[in-house]
Structure 1
Amino acid sequence: MDTIKELGNISTLPITRFTANGAYLNLSNGTEVLLPKGYLLGDEKEGEEVAVFVYTDSEDRLVAITDRPVALVDEFAVMEVKEVTKFGAFMDWGLPKDLFVPMSEMGKPMKEGEQHLVMICVDFKTNRLIGVSKYQDFMLTDTTIFEEGQEVDGLVFESTDLGYKVLINQHYEGLLYENETFKDIAVGDNIKAYIKKRRDDGKLDLQLTPIGRQKYEEGAEKILNLLKVKRFLPLHDKSSPEEIKKTLGMSKKHFKQSIGQLYKSRKIEIKTDGIALVD
């Protein structure tokens, strides 16, 4: 059976007819797919186009719905494990029917309640959508498209002893080191990061703050904006790194260089017990 090109994607399809069960939509191959009655507003008409997600129901029949999953076919998302069986795991991907990850497609054993990075794929043997957590199979190692200092969008997908693994551009693996992360990070977070280093193994070292001078300019702006509200911050040279991290989300070194900029521009006064805004 040929794969339906709409399977796993958001498609805009025309309504061909109505039945007691809902509306039938026309697929690109000339066949129809049911949009169940519960997804209709009630004022639709034949010929009207509807944006739907097409997948298979619990009986492996094609069905269209107006809900959107957390990811489409050939995309990654972090998903929570709903149930584990001897055949595989069922993941919450935001739809009524959970996404199945076969045991053979698991990168490592899963437990209920855990979060894992999963790619949505078409199982060409059954023409169903499945999840694959062997993410390394999809990673690219030629990172020459990136430059050191470049800003990137990332998805935090795993916490390790070293720090946090981050998915970049759906196909590159990056790492945020725990000892360089000065704000709360959780698996599933979408973040902005900066390329710190391109490694020989094809992975990317990342950091949360801009490289070089821009980093301290942004830090200074953050401190200044907070001072405009509070007028005084009880942070100084003797403050602990933990206290600075909790208050400002930055390292002590970053804090000292940022307040140095503010002091030179005469925007703050440095006191023995903290920093104050200069009127």
Structure 2
Amino acid sequence: MIEVGKINDLKVVDENSSGYYLSTDENEEKAFMPPSLGPKEIKIGDELKVFIYLDTSDCLLATSNFPSAVVGEYAYMRVVETTHFGAFLNWGITKDLLIPDTEQKTPIRMGENHLVRVCKDERTERIFGTTKLGKFIQASEFDIAEGDEIELVPATKEELGYRCIVNKKFVGMIYHNEIFTEIIPGKKMNGVVKKLREDGLVDCALQVQGIKNLVDSKDVILDYLEKNGGKAELHDKSTPDAIKKALGMSKQTFKKSIGMLYKDRKILLKKDGIELVNTNKEE
């Protein structure tokens, strides 16, 4: 099934003088891709990763260019046109993203930059943007944990700090009193989760704290091993719950930490867990 507003893996199944037709199966619905929206060399049978949206006739259109955000994600976008019914923003593909006037928290003006969530009308499958973010933030279902490294995109400057996009999926805040480098709205930065708030927002810190978190996590793992005979039945295939219960950290942090400990030659990585190097030598 082709998903509108998402990145799809499709196969080129047909072509004509106007372009190419892509599908998941030759008997299913097809998306059209004109040569201008695809790679230079295409042939039937090629498998392509494409973004799908609707053209003005509500037909499926494919492009190998990806937008700055897909449906359900956030991005920092610039206004390129305003009309009586809404505003159009540049989101990285040929067709600009419409934010209807009914989806604007405050009136949008030409040349402004905005933090936008990409949405889809489930009835018409038309894609649109919104700056009314409250209900989406409150409904956040976090797949990150405190201490995790994250990708940040600073957006709007506010009284307490910068409102930012977290991993394209969440909205957070970097506070002014914790900023020790230049912040450029729209420029990606590395950061770390400080706190997951009950209101759906993410309190963030910049990468310096992320590095400290990994150092602390390494010490936690070594201490756990020393207290448990030098071995632990934890590895990169362990469940996040098992890792959190034993060590109080996320699986992502655990994997990065054991990788660093392995490089430091302090632990051995086994199929069924990890071991202190010294314990192995004594045996």
Equivalences for 1:1-279 in 2 at 5 Å?
5-27=2-24, 30-39=28-37, 43-139=41-137, 140=139, 146-147=145-146, 150-197=148-195, 201-208=199-206, 210-211=208-209, 214=212
Q: Which runs of 4+ in 1 moved over 6 A?
A: 141-144
Quick one: structure 1 residues 136 and 45, their matched pair in 2 at CA, closer, same or farther if it must change by over 3 Å? same
Further displaced range: 81-90 or 34-43: 34-43
Which AA in structure 2 matches 1:187?
P
1:99 shift after superposition? 0.7
1:159 shift after superposition? 0.9
Question: Contact (CA 8 Å) 1:143, 1:203: kept in 2 or not?
Answer: no
Question: Contact (CA 8 Å) 1:193, 1:207: kept in 2 or not?
Answer: yes
Which AA in structure 1 matches 2:104?
M
Q: Please give the alpha-carbon distance, in whole angstroms, between the structure 1 residues aligned to 2:38 and 2:55.
A: 17
Question: Contact (CA 8 Å) 2:105, 2:131: kept in 1 or not?
Answer: yes
In structure 2, the residue corresponding to 1:104 is in which secondary structure? Answer: helix
Quick one: structure 1 residues 104 and 178, their matched pair in 2 at CA, closer, same or farther if it must change by over 3 Å? same
Q: Please give the alpha-carbon distance, in whole angstroms, between the structure 1 residues aligned to 2:68 and 2:144.
A: 27
| Structure whose alpha-carbon radius of gyration is higher | 1
Q: Please give the alpha-carbon distance, in whole angstroms, between the structure 2 residues aligned to 1:199 and 1:11.
A: 33
Quick one: structure 1 residues 114 and 31, their matched pair in 2 at CA, closer, same or farther if it must change by over 3 Å? same
Quick one: structure 1 residues 112 and 192, their matched pair in 2 at CA, closer, same or farther if it must change by over 3 Å? same
Quick one: structure 1 residues 191 and 34, their matched pair in 2 at CA, closer, same or farther if it must change by over 3 Å? same
In structure 2, the residue corresponding to 1:112 is in which secondary structure? Answer: coil
Q: Please give the alpha-carbon distance, in whole angstroms, between the structure 2 residues aligned to 1:144 and 1:6.
A: 22
Matched pairs, number: 212
Q: Please give the alpha-carbon distance, in whole angstroms, between the structure 2 residues aligned to 1:51 and 1:200.
A: 36
Quick one: structure 1 residues 184 and 61, their matched pair in 2 at CA, closer, same or farther if it must change by over 3 Å? same
In structure 2, the residue corresponding to 1:44 is in which secondary structure? Answer: coil
Q: Give the alignment's Cα RMSD to 1 decimal.
A: 3.1
Gap regions ≥5 residues in structure 1: 218-279
In structure 1, the residue corresponding to 2:71 is in which secondary structure? Answer: coil
1:142 shift after superposition? 7.7
Question: Contact (CA 8 Å) 1:27, 1:33: kept in 2 or not?
Answer: no
1:101 shift after superposition? 1.0
Quick one: structure 1 residues 124 and 141, their matched pair in 2 at CA, closer, same or farther if it must change by over 3 Å? closer
